[in-house]
Amino acid sequence: MYNSKITGLGFYVPENVVTNEDLSKMMDTNDEWIQERTGIKERRWIKEGSEDTTAVMGAKASRIAIERAGLTKDDIDFIVFATLSPDYYFPGGGVQLQEMLDMRTVGAVDIRNQCSGFIYAMSVADQFIKTGMYKNILVVGSEFHSGGLDKSTRGRGVTVIFGDGAGAAVLSRTEDNTKGILSSHLHSEGKHAKELIVESPSIMHWVPALIAENDENDESYYPYMNGTFVFKNAVVRFSEAIIEGLQTNNLEATDIDMLIPHQANLRISQFVQKKFKLNDDQIYNNIMKYGNTTAASVIIALTEAWELGKIKDNDLVVLAAFGSGFTWGSVIIRW
């Protein structure tokens, strides 16, 4: 059986920086309130009139990753595209990416696992490579949140958290079973689906009903999050997923060289860091700059940590995420 190894990384975020001070002019909030609860100082939002969309940002990140892998678009055999904010209800972002990159008629699959999207996407790509079906797979996480947020005081509890951006990784076949993805671990608990959700529009509440109701006060169009409940579940599931991955590979927390957690909330990351007794050089957070970019957050953070030289050959790198669904998981990598 083959193994899969990351050979290229790239990310892209919009140029438009939105600070906490900027948000205080839109809603009843302030920098201290936001930083205390989330750790976020600023985020990137696509500016009105920009060419950027979820698919466009994914394409920009992908071009960087493919070039860094020493490949061309024609070397890519398959696309896995993770997002909760596709340009269209359907078709998905994967086929748009194939067209934007002028690629061969390779297959493309979309992953809808929200904050855990990139973890799930990596697992899917890993299995395709391990079985020998594909040699090089492009794995993308991209999100355009800002166009769907309630930017009034009513929505501040959610809106201050999210940012826009994209990241991409090229997974390639290797016969060295000591390097690359060692294992991946995926879980879900659908009974908590409504604790973090966008309920409408949906097939159960579709366009004719929306037009007929014409209710400007309907909050179901915007993300809802039971913040305290989500936080409590996240810190438990993050830890479980990391422990599961370590135990599967007969490893200990002391073996971790770099933990890249989903950038949901700096307080969650700090809790996990303390639990596993990791020092500041063993965990990478960038939520302060970019906010929560959902399916893009892990890959943006992974790419940035690698660019900064924080990830070296033979390091044990752990990726972990928790989010809406609830879904959660981890990927264990020997770099």
Q: What is the CATH number of the domain that holds 156?
A: 3.40.47.10
The answer on 117 and 252 residing in a single domain is no
How much is the pLDDT for 259?
98
| pLDDT digits (tens), the chain, 335 positions | 899 999 999 999 999 999 999 999 999 999 999 999 999 999 999 999 999 999 999 999 999 999 999 999 999 999 999 999 999 999 999 999 999 999 999 999 999 999 999 999 999 999 999 999 999 999 999 999 999 999 999 999 999 999 999 999 999 999 998 999 999 999 999 999 999 998 877 788 777 877 787 777 766 778 899 999 999 999 999 999 999 999 999 999 999 999 999 999 999 999 999 999 999 999 999 999 999 999 999 999 999 999 999 999 999 999 999 999 999 999 999 99
Query: Tokens representing 241?
Result: 């997923």
The answer on 167 and 23 residing in a single domain is yes
Helical H segments across 49-196, by residue range: 54-68, 93-100, 117-130, 156-159
How much is the pLDDT for 210?
73
Nearest-CA neighbor of 305 among 264, 253, 251, 263? 263
**Cis peptide bond prior to 208, omega within 30° of 0:** no
The answer on 214 and 66 residing in a single domain is no
The answer on 162 and 203 residing in a single domain is no
DSSP 153: G
Helical H segments across 147-265, by residue range: 156-159, 207-213, 227-248
The answer on 132 and 76 residing in a single domain is yes
Q: Look at the chain and report how many structural domains it folds into.
A: 2
Query: Does the active-site annotation cover 185?
Result: no
Contact criterion met (CB below 8 Å) for 176 and 7: no
The answer on 150 and 26 residing in a single domain is yes
Sheet holding 258-261, edge to edge: 180-188, 327-334, 316-323, 258-261
Active-site residue among 113, 136, 185, 262? 262
The answer on 129 and 164 residing in a single domain is yes
The answer on 12 and 85 residing in a single domain is yes
Query: Does the active-site annotation cover 292?
Result: yes
Among 158, 177, 196, give the residue marking a domain's end. 177
Among 142, 177, 212, give the residue marking a domain's end. 177
Helices 227-248 and 266-275 meet at what angle, rounded to 10? 40
Total-model pTM: 0.95
Question: What whole-number distance in Å separates Cα of residue 263 and Cα of residue 41?
Answer: 13
The answer on 252 and 125 residing in a single domain is no
The answer on 194 and 156 residing in a single domain is no
State which residues form the domain around 54: 3-177
How much is the pLDDT for 212?
81
The answer on 127 and 228 residing in a single domain is no
Question: What whole-number distance in Å separates Cα of residue 98 and Cα of residue 94?
Answer: 6
| Strand pairing category for 136-143 and 78-82 | parallel
Active-site residue among 113, 233, 265, 292? 292
How much is the pLDDT for 204?
80
Cβ-based neighbours of 36, under 8 Å, separated by 6 or more: none
Burial class (CB in 10 A: 0-12, 13-18, 19+), 300: buried
DSSP 88: S
How much is the pLDDT for 71?
98
Neighbours of 276 (CB within 10 A): 20
DSSP 167: E
The answer on 214 and 118 residing in a single domain is no
Among 177, 208, 226, give the residue marking a domain's end. 177
Nearest-CA neighbor of 318 among 270, 266, 283, 268? 283
Active-site residue among 3, 115, 185, 233? 115
